[in-house]
A and B are shown apart, each in its own frame.
Chain A
Amino acid sequence: QKEVEQNSGPLSVPEGAIASLNCTYSDRGSQSFFWYRQYSGKSPELIMSIYSNGDKEDGRFTAQLNKASQYVSLLIRDSQPSDSATYLCAVNAGGFKTIFGAGTRLFVKA
Chain B
Amino acid sequence: GAVVSQHPSRVICKSGTSVKIECRSLDFQATTMFWYRQFPKKSLMLMATSNEGSKATYEQGVEKDKFLINHASLTLSTLTVTSAHPEDSSFYICSATVAGASPDTQYFGPGTRLTVL
Contact: A42 with B104, CB < 8 Å?
Answer: no
CB distance from A49 to the nearest CB of B (A): 6
CB distance from B24 to the nearest CB of A (A): 14
User: Residue on B with the closest CB to A32?
Assistant: B104
Evaluate whether A98 and B106 lie within 8 angstroms (CB atoms) in the complex, with A44-B44, A88-B43, A88-B44 already known. yes
Contact: B111 with A42, CB < 8 Å?
Answer: yes
Contact: B43 with A102, CB < 8 Å?
Answer: yes
The verdict on A46 contacting chain B, using a C-beta distance below 8 Å, is: yes
The verdict on B19 contacting chain A, using a C-beta distance below 8 Å, is: no
Q: Of B42, B43, B105, which contacts A46 at CB under 8 A?
A: B105
Contact: B104 with A44, CB < 8 Å?
Answer: no
The verdict on A35 contacting chain B, using a C-beta distance below 8 Å, is: no
Interface contact tally, CB-CB below 8 A: 44
CB distance from B60 to the nearest CB of A (A): 10
CB distance from A61 to the nearest CB of B (A): 16
Contact: B43 with A96, CB < 8 Å?
Answer: no
List the A side residues contacting B93 at CB < 8 Å.
43-44
Contact: A46 with B111, CB < 8 Å?
Answer: no
User: Residue on A with the closest CB to B4?
Assistant: A43
A41–B110 Cα distance when bound, in Å, is 9
User: Residue on B with the closest CB to A94?
Assistant: B104
Q: What is the interface residue range for chain B against chain A?
A: 20 to 34
Contact: A43 with B46, CB < 8 Å?
Answer: no
CB distance from A92 to the nearest CB of B (A): 4
The verdict on B108 contacting chain A, using a C-beta distance below 8 Å, is: yes
List the B side residues contacting A92 at CB < 8 Å.
104
User: Residue on A with the closest CB to B45?
Assistant: A100
- 21 A-B pairs, CB-CB below 8 angstroms? A34-B105, A36-B108, A41-B91, A41-B113, A43-B108, A43-B109, A43-B111, A44-B44, A44-B93, A44-B108, A45-B108, A46-B105, A46-B106, A88-B44, A96-B34, A98-B46, A98-B104, A98-B106, A100-B43, A100-B44, A101-B43
